[in-house]
Amino acid sequence: MFNTEFIAFDSYAPPRVVTNDDLSKLVDTSDEWISSRTGISQRHISEGENTSEICIKVAEGLLKKSGLAPDEIDLIIVATITPDFATPNTACLVQAAIGAENAFAFDISAACSGFVFASSIADKYIKSGMCKNAIVIGAETLSKIVNWEDRTTCVLFGDGGAGVVMSRGERNCYLAEDMHSDGSLGLRLTGGETKVRNAYSAPEEADRRYLEMDGRTIFNFSTKRVPASINILLDKAGLTIDDIDYVVPHQANSRIVEVVAKKLGISMDRFYMNIASYGNTSAASIPMALAQMDREGLLKKGTKLVITGFGGGLTWGSALIEI
């Protein structure tokens, strides 16, 4: 069995910044209402760039930072719930754009857990010997499935993408994982529904295109499942929370993270948060945080991180990685 290392991080967000005050001109809300309930101050919103274009910029940055040539990439995985098309998949569009002719490419859809699940998949391909270098990206253009007249959801989400290069190396840096799903609660968070409409079926109901969320259920689910998952993960690795340098959670809501921190018995200082600047970017949120940590010099060799995602599906999962 081979070892998996993390060798590069990068991110990209559309340049248009939309503040809470900007949103107050669109819907009945305010900066105080949004920031006090979510921890969000602003978000980046696409003015035309689609998910594949965001991913391509991330992939180009990852190649530059890793020093790898496009033909050295064996695998590309994109985690997203907002692809450009049902087919071709977003990862194939990335593969073509960067010239990674030797890579096979596919998308996964696991919403806010998507990056955690995708990095787990890449780790298995590398450890099995099937791949040497993988690009794993989480990216979303959530603004295209948000109802901009619904103040309960439009204030939460942003656009952006980020990713990592995972490669065969001398050290094992993907140390443990804990992954779960509960489809019985799946309809508590939905988006992008497409009903059967053909020559033999014409449903009267409109498609539920926009994101819809039972906020209370999602809050209760997250604050129960996430600390339990992290504790299971640490037990598997034979570590305690005191051995971890940072917990990097899906950036969903600062109140959720505060409850998780309390249940784990640690301070919020141990959680890396950038939700104030980007909002909830679903599958992009964890890698965007990792990329920012890298720019800030926080990801030094030997740094131990717990990454934990939770959201639509419902899905949740955590992984222990070492830089």
Residue 51 has pLDDT above 90, yes or no: yes
Confidence of residue 95 (pLDDT cuts 50, 70, 90): very high
Sign of CA dihedral 123, 125, 127, 133: negative
Place of tokens 């719930």: 81
**pLDDT 10s digits, 147-196:** 999 988 999 999 999 999 999 999 999 999 999 999 999 999 999 888 89
For 33, the enclosing helix (H) or strand (E) is: helix 31-38
Catalytic one among 50, 89, 133, 280?
280
User: Among 73, 124, 134, which residue's Cα sits nearest to residue 99?
Assistant: 73
Confidence at residue 180, expressed as pLDDT on a 0 to 100 scale: 97
Distance separating alpha carbons of residues 95 and 73, to the nearest angstrom = 9
Give me the catalytic one of 50, 89, 173, 250: 250
Omega into 249 within 30° of 0, i.e. cis? Answer: no
Strands (E), 28-69: 42-44
280 is catalytic: yes
**Predicted confidence (pLDDT) at residue 238 exceeds the cutoff of 90:** yes
Residue 179: Cβ-neighbour burial (10 angstroms; 0-12, 13-18, 19+):
middle
State yes or no: is 173 an active-site residue. Answer: no
β partners of residue 44: 17
Q: How many CA atoms lie within 13 A of 91 on its CB side?
A: 23
- The 10s digit of each residue's pLDDT in 66-77 is 999 999 999 999
Reading the block at residue 296, the tokens are 């800030």
**Confidence category of residue 215, pLDDT binned at 50, 70, 90:** confident
Confidence of residue 321 (pLDDT cuts 50, 70, 90): very high
DSSP string, 232-256: HHHHHHT--GGG-SEEEE--S-HHH
| Residue 17 pLDDT grade (very low, low, confident, very high; cuts 50, 70, 90) | very high
> Among 92, 112, 154, 173, which one carries the catalytic annotation?
112
Q: Hey, what's the torsion of the CAs at 183, 189, 190, 191, to 10 degrees? A: -140
